[in-house]
Amino acid sequence: MTGREGVWLPAAARERLARFSSSGVRTSLLPVAGAVGVESVGLTPVGEVMGCIVQQIGWIGAAGYGVGMSYYGLGAVDFGPYVEALYRGYDTALARMVAEASAMGADGVVAVRLTCGHLGQSNHEFVALGTAVRARSRHRPRQPFTTALPGQDVAKLMHAGWVPARIAIGIAVQAQYLDWRSRNQMSIMSGNMEVAGPTELITRVRHLARDTFERHARDAHADAAIVSDVQLQTWEREDNNAILLGAESKVFGTAISRFHTGPRAPGNALTVIPLRPVSQQPITRKQR
């Protein structure tokens, strides 16, 4: 069985949809504040939705190395297949979640949680979990929006004249061998000082993840993007008396679009990456 967008749905999802259709019970993962928030802007929670995929990220290709080997720095350090596998996992989980929401007649999914867990060996589970909402309107969007923002923040956003478009993701992975300068700086005899190699690597990989996040948001024809989470993972491996240091950065957030001008949203500051030139920015990097 497929969802409204043609995405395959597993048996468990079909069972949830059947219960949704027959029982009339509407479940929600939103806390009270989130549920009240979305209701205040005309969005009614209609059910919890989930998409998941278990994906092996291991040996691929005919060149004698693959994702696993690249990831740990053996052989050629090519992280392209590994990054593509991560995107495939997150995108598939989101697509299946959206397909389930579409089958419920929802117009969006709020407070989405995206996770990637290890199930042993080379297996990774990607999960997208959120609450589907339906607008109290006769006009329906072409496809449901997705956002990692909680319900109360969605309400603040819409009161300020913005609407969520979709979740945006940026991923970057790089590795480099530490030079003698960095290795000396890491010595227990060097005292408290900056280590140049790791600083350069981590700064670069976070910059690349941010750039890919921005491109993903631009693909949604968005005006800006709100960052919800920034993750960093590092590892190192000794190989023939050389130390290979690797870094993986992920940026998660929501691409947003303006639908009218009005007062700024109340509440705490929102972390925003503007997608327009500074002279044309509708919002500042820190909005209060």
Residues 32 and 76 in one domain: yes
Q: Are residues 138 and 176 in the same domain?
A: no
Confidence class of residue 175 from pLDDT cuts 50, 70 and 90? confident
Range of the domain at 60: 1-159
Mean pLDDT across 178-182: 63
Q: How confident is the model at residue 81 (pLDDT cuts 50, 70, 90)?
A: confident
User: Which among 159, 124, 120, 142 has a CA at the least distance from the CA of 38?
Assistant: 159
Is 15 or 132 the better-scoring residue by pLDDT?
132
- Flag whether pLDDT at 136 surpasses 90: no
Residue 111, pLDDT > 80, answer yes
| Domain co-membership, 8 together with 131 | yes
Beta bridge partners of 245: 176, 236
Strands 123-135 and 108-118: antiparallel
132 and 182 in a single domain? The answer is no
DSSP string, the chain: -B-TTS-B--HHHHHHHHHHHHH--------HHHHHHHHHTTEEEEEEEEEEEEEE----SSSS--HHHHHTT-SS---HHHHHHHHHHHHHHHHHHHHHHHHTT-SEEEEEEEEEEE-STTEEEEEEEEEEEEESSS---SS-EE--S-HHHHHHHHHTTEEEEEEEEEEEEEEEE--HHHHHHTSTTS-S---HHHHHHHHHHHHHHHHHHHHHHHHTT-SEEEEEEEEEEEEEEEETTEEEEEEEEEEEEEEEEE-S--PPPPSS-EEEEE-S-GGG-SS-SEE-
pLDDT of residue 26: 74
pLDDT at 25: 67
Instruction: State whether 9 and 146 are in the same domain.
Output: yes
Q: How confident is the model at residue 260 (pLDDT cuts 50, 70, 90)?
A: low
pTM: 0.78
Rounded Cα gap, residues 59 and 192, in angstroms: 40
107 HSE (CA, 13 A, CB side): 15
Say which residue the tokens 């990097």 belong to: 285
Dist. CA 238–CA 22, nearest whole Å? 59
Which domain CATH number covers 88?
Answer: 3.30.110.70
Query: 226: number of CA atoms within 13 Å, CB side?
Result: 23
Q: Rounded mean pLDDT of 63-78?
A: 40
Q: Do 92 and 193 share a structural domain?
A: no
pLDDT, residue 221, reads 87
Whether the predicted pLDDT of 181 surpasses 80: no
Q: How far, in whole angstroms, is CA 118 from its chain's centroid?
A: 17
Pair (154, 25) in one structural domain: yes
Structure tokens, 274: 């503007």
Residue 70 or residue 103, greater confidence: 103
- Domain boundary, last residue among 91, 126, 159: 159
Whether residue 1 has pLDDT greater than 50: no
pLDDT at residue 176 in the model: 78
Q: What are the φ and ψ backbone dihedral angles of 169, each rounded to 5 degrees? A: -135, 140
Split into its structural domains, the chain has a count of 2
Least confident piece of the model among 7-11, 44-48, 99-103, 209-213? 7-11
Q: Does the pLDDT of residue 180 top 90, yes or no? A: no
Q: Which of 108, 134, 159 is the last residue of a domain?
A: 159
Q: Quick one: average pLDDT of 149-163?
A: 92
Question: Does residue 233 share a domain with residue 175?
Answer: yes
Do 53 and 193 belong to one domain? no
pLDDT at 185: 56
Co-location of 113 and 242 in the same domain? no
Is 67 in the same domain as 194? Answer: no
Q: Are residues 211 and 239 in the same domain?
A: yes
Q: DSSP readout, 146-198? A: E--S-HHHHHHHHHTTEEEEEEEEEEEEEEEE--HHHHHHTSTTS-S---HHH
Mean pLDDT of the 219-232 span: 92
pLDDT attached to residue 151: 94
Quote the tokens at residue 208: 């690349």
Please report which confidence band the pLDDT of residue 217 belongs to, taking 50, 70 and 90 as the band edges: very high
> Tell me, what's the pLDDT at 122?
81
How far are the Cα atoms of 57, 197, 199, 224 from residue 189, in angstroms, in the given order? 40, 18, 19, 47
Q: Where does a domain end: 159, 190, 211? A: 159
